[in-house]
Chains A and B, each alone.
Chain A
């Protein structure tokens, strides 16, 4: 029996989760919401203020004491510097206090391993989409290899910044509110579509929509709901396209969507249609696991720990940039 506690706080969500051999015992989380967007030092301050409370919750909800924990996992990166440091500091401290080994986990791999655990997908093509990342990943020879990605900004970043342009609320998240508004959209507005090989680009569509939305909304040519709808249809089509290309390239019959944008039901629906036409299976999780959370770090940590990995104190730094393919996946063949 192996019990791992995971600490996650690379962006505006601070979560601590506990996993015991594939069971999520607890997974509390807090989200820092502030218009127009979140700044590193304020986010770190938010995390510092709540982290010990969340830690208590995690242990209490799991019905465990520190002595029961086998390993302390934390997000090594990628992400925002100040929040990462805040969380790593607490993880290092409790690891030493409790006398438990530490494990620095790659945030993206946390998402992938949680997705695999929850959905039981065998060897899927992974679409990882969030505010900070957009990658198409497939496992091969001990690495999670990046087959396609954004060459500029992440899709979630594009959506969040558009939300700011049309001034919609950040509560519970800008992406969620865009999704709700898009459901009421009726008119399709043509927007730039940019796929380059297996990669995508979103800065063009963002600058275009930032420029024209003002004009279109004030002239009454279309409603904000129509722009939300059109933006989703366009960027999601781009994501489905590069996922399909990777699947064709790898001969894969499974798709797993992870990351905050993966909560979006329209994206899941479109991916489902593509999968159905290819005879492939779609796997997705809900907002408990799509959105950054502590349990995903615990799960990746559980895999790493069981395959013999440990992070020494002097190596327990954090890094803002950490490519998914930098990690040796010692727990898979």
Chain B
């Protein structure tokens, strides 16, 4: 019986459309319970010791699901989770139809004419706002990049919805240090992917500071972490 059950998900995936293979997981598109679904499959990493690999893969699957649920409960847009298979480490979740990544959005906006600046500033403010809400829920994303934020076009009012995805490295923490590092990870990813956007990121942080009730301690920690790279002893 167990043998049959454990074959069900891989069999399902063999008929699904492989969207991409990242460093950690394969992402498929399929239909599940009549809904357009994304299946995220964390596959074994053979370079790791098997005990470490199993622990890590399981933990990341659990953490991803837990954080997504916690965000949704707090009204922060994240995909709906339909089903989780802990044997194959697959998460079946809502496909965000008609969406593009914030990364692609910023890139195309910057490639076109400069009238998009106000739009980008508005986007940065919304990003700061949503991250403040997430941190106030004590959810640390762990891998904030502009590829992990989606803009979903809402048909009703034309304004797009900002949706957070990819919570694989996330965990729950109230520590300003962890939130500061979370923002630091985003800052590094943001500035290396979108060169010369320091002013835009500042807008994001300003919006974050205004929206979060616990922001001053977090920003202080962010400043400390930024300095660490420069103050570290580099012997050897």
> Can you name the residue of chain A whose Cβ is closest to the Cβ of B45?
A274
A132 with B236: CB separation less than 8 A:
yes
CB contacts (< 8 Å) of B48 on chain A: these are: 233, 237, 240, 270
State how many angstroms separate the Cβ of B215 from the closest Cβ of chain A: 20
- Is B229 engaged at the interface, CB distance under 8 Å to the other chain? yes
Asked if A199 lies at the interface with its beta carbon under 8 angstroms from chain B, I say yes
Among candidates B46, B189, B233, residue contacting A320 with C-beta atoms closer than 8 Å: B233
Q: Which of B76-84, B109-117, B140-148, B196-204 contacts A (4 or more CB under 8 A)?
A: B140-148
Contact B192 A197 (CB under 8 A): no
Taking the complex as formed, is B15 at the interface, i.e. its CB lies under 8 A from any CB of chain A? no
> Does residue A273 face the partner (Cβ distance < 8 Å to B)?
yes
Whether A154 contacts B236 in the complex (CB less than 8 A), given A197-B145, A323-B230, comes out as yes
Among B47, B51, B143, B231, max chain A CB count under 10 A is at B47
Q: Pick the interface stretch among A92-100, A188-196, A213-221, A303-311.
A: A188-196
**Beta-carbon contacts under 8 Å, A239-267 to B:** 240-241, 244-245, 247-248, 260
Question: A240 to B185, Cβ gap below 8 A?
Answer: no
A320 CB to nearest B CB, Å: 7
Interface size class of A (residues with CB under 8 A): 35 or more
What residues of chain B lie closer than 8 Å to A79, measured between beta carbons? 234-236
- Candidates B185, B192, B236; contact of A292 at CB < 8 Å: B236
User: Min CB distance, B23 to chain A, in Å?
Assistant: 4
Q: A32-63 interface mask toward B, CB cutoff 8 Å, 1 = contact, 0 = none?
A: 00000000000000000000000000000000
Question: Would you call B236 and A237 a contact (CB within 8 A)?
Answer: no
Max chain B CB contacts within 10 Å: which of A12, A190, A271, A321? A321
Chain B 187-220 interface residues, beta-carbon cutoff 8 Å to A: 188-189, 192
Q: Would A248 and B23 count as touching, CB distance under 8 A?
A: yes
- Do B189 and A151 touch (CB < 8 A)? no
Beyond A188-B52, A323-B230, is A198–B188 a contact (Cβ under 8 Å)?
Answer: yes
On whether A132 and B51 interact (CB within 8 A), knowing A197-B145, A198-B188, the answer reads no
- Kindly state whether residue A3 has any CB partner on chain B within 8 Å: no
Interface of chain A residues 186 through 230 with chain B (CB within 8 A): 188, 190, 193, 195-199
Q: Is B71 an interface residue (CB 8 A)?
A: no
A residues at B contact (CB < 8 Å): 10-12, 77-80, 107, 130-133, 145, 147, 149-154, 156-157, 188, 190, 193, 195-199, 233-234, 237, 240-241, 244-245, 247-248, 260, 270-271, 273-274, 277, 292, 320-323
The 3 closest A-B pairs by CB, nearest first: A131-B236, A132-B236, A78-B234
A-B contact pairs, 26 of them (CB 8 A): A10-B236, A12-B236, A77-B234, A78-B234, A80-B235, A132-B234, A132-B236, A147-B192, A188-B51, A190-B51, A193-B52, A195-B169, A197-B144, A197-B145, A197-B185, A197-B189, A233-B48, A234-B52, A237-B47, A247-B23, A248-B23, A273-B47, A274-B45, A292-B236, A320-B234, A321-B230
9 more contacts with CB within 8 A, not counting A80-B235, A133-B234, are: A11-B235, A151-B184, A151-B228, A151-B229, A198-B188, A240-B47, A320-B234, A322-B234, A323-B230
